[in-house]
Structure 1
């Protein structure tokens, strides 16, 4: 604030004189509380843009506050969630902040939820998609997030949803146009919130009036915007000015961002993503009812609703739309409850394929479809090669979501059948052995992990040779397990073998080789060979930056580990001068590329 007003925020001798400061937030009848003193400052914060009229016509005394910067948002998330900065998952943090649009109160609420539930940052968005209303009504235990909403009500907790509900209540109480404006806001919330154009509504209105059998009409909130002018056939013209007035009203209440003219001569507005969440959270009534019917065993009724939702969504948004895919997923659930396993399998396969193409393997909806398909495949019988391959792939994808229980169940079932059908020494059987070994490593069973990965490595060496890519893909994970156990010399030898083989096959700049170099740097760091570790880590980092770019998660994690290493080197240098220090090896060891996959040419990203 001081910077905005070009004043200083440091103490001075003049501050000792009698001085008054009043601060108001979300005010009511504000002038009744103004002090009569002329020696002081009044600060008013409000979500209503009409508050600028209080600035005595001095523009420099009124300014809008946007969202936090990325750096400020990360700091707020870290402080409020009580996480150590060194242990912050950078990629997950960025995803959370992007989803919350760097909104300070939303970040505070999310951080409080993360802290109370003791969940990882990487788990938060999945929680948010399932329970966004609960999370955004989760209020931090702070006095500054409480107020009395009206004279007749008790003091209540404030949160992102209640602050907007105040504005929505005010909007609904507006005479003549309140309900229509509210309905229009709800309609706007179903569009891309980054750019909502007036053209959408001005194009729809005449078409809907002309072909009411094909378009939904009348739409009350759009009909409210119509002017009194008529087309020759008696239809009413769209009321552009009325639409603009509504947007102005909504923006003054901070329900939409101030609108602006676009180059296409239409008004364009921006809707905050969290308001979009608030307005659309009650829109899934049919889906909620169908889930309820499934849970009650009323599967036929649930199937009718889910079929209708799939048909409607596919017709209006297409088969590849994520909402359509979720409707299809719900229908597949109902089919599986009814024992219609083939229908359920076909739907799950389609949903899984489209989710992976649309959202990627890391998205929360993908593993849910994977797990559901896996259960269907196991229920229908898995003693055929195609089904076994599908299940193995599903288990590998689940690795990215750290769904250990589901993944272990699938891998153990696949391994048992592959050993029976193909034999214990078959290449595909050994792949599953190695994958199960890495899972046990993730679960903390290091002895079991070493035995399984050594069995896989020995079998693949005999079958494919010591220099085959699949063999080398098992060498690096074994090195990581040995590192976890603390047998660092053996781990170093394994990683050197991996680097030598990968370099011979693909060159030193290939990403798989660079990740093995990164792993070796972590092993050398654990041996306090800081100079060698620094050289290799720098080589891996520069190679990944060149191959993948600065924003890729491998590169980001490698950079974080390198920064951690440099901090350790600085601390080591300092200790030589001032005396010994206590090392934080647990924090340090988490920064190497320590989650490589077995039998894959591109290992899984760092933790």
Structure 2
């Protein structure tokens, strides 16, 4: 029986809720639910980062690849650990929350376990049957996500691409790629340390490299982490940012430490530059609500997982990485990379069995993990750059005696590659010089002080031939100090290093300093080698030349006569040194 208008009006204003069924005699009334929209499901593990420093170029690229228009889109943010990939993805997730109907889902892809755990969390939100487990659960969650009208799916820390059938290795579990949602409508954003994600899990043109910050961005981040409203120019600021390579994680932690301790940037920089406190500063771990608490936030630990994964994939890549950790971080020639692959490590001679293709593949994996950047220069010459903090992390992660082991291998490699200074070899000397000098810093660590001094002497000879006295001075000083430590003051090689330093001072016009050292070398050579030794006579001639340049002509003339007589006796009338002595 139809109800009257009065009855309908009374029911519509009653306390009963929507979709209520009422039975009263032969009166059956259904109060329908007004049409409404389902609430969007959001599973985002971190709060919005209100202190985020916007890297506009990266955000613009991401927005172009993942637009708001209907369709299916995917993209990947890739780069070095600590470069800010997760924070950019987090910002994108919250910006998409402006669409009230868009569902947002976030999973951690560090491992199959974290992936599955996050799928269970999403499943609860979507009302998936709680009794499901394993592949049934993953299937059901994927289907439920695909059933949403609009959704964003973020896969964070997908560093082990083998989990998704990329470069599968023997023993790898079933691929997780089949559980990634697809469909005509939806957005997928990956973050990974592995550049190989482009061209595999996303298209070649859908990857965005996340590099270190620009100087302006890093300056803003440092100010924000210190609690400053705007960037303030301070002594040492730019140097600190360069020392930290403008890596967001390192910069933010430095700023937080400076804020908590109320120290100045210069005071922090001074601590950072001290060998004893540097690693202590880089090991500081502060809580970050925008990162998972169970994952290390320590700068020196940041790349440990990647290093271990590299070793699982390629012992050759691991070997190269640890040898070049003792070179200068910039402009590493391809030839040194190849040489690093050919070093004999332990009982196995890996690289001598490796083909040229295998060596190139090993280097490529280091580039893909952002441990190296490739540079191409004129005439097609290839070189590489290694992040300075990555070098430190690699060295820090070595076991006891590991530093001595790899630094000594690196020393031997550079010494073998560095040629004697001749006009035809100058280009190669130039390529390897900065790395030879850097290897020299590890002499005490490797226990190879004497061998290091020999390499530095070759560098000194090259700089002498090129007349580059300012660069030569610290090389001479280092070689002299090393030889004094291991050979003693009176060893002929130590005296030779003294004489080289004096020659550098003389060539710089620092005659008084040159005179003092020339006198010392002359006295030592008389004691050790004797009055008539050619090197002793050479020291006399050097001192005479210094006197002459100081305008002390009578003193110079007297010594010149002595050296001429001695050279006639010892070397003969026609020896080049004797002839030169006649016309000083």
More strand by share: 2
TM-score, normalisation: structure 1 = 0.40
Greater relative contact order (Cα < 8 A, sep 6+): 2
TM-score, normalisation: structure 2 = 0.42
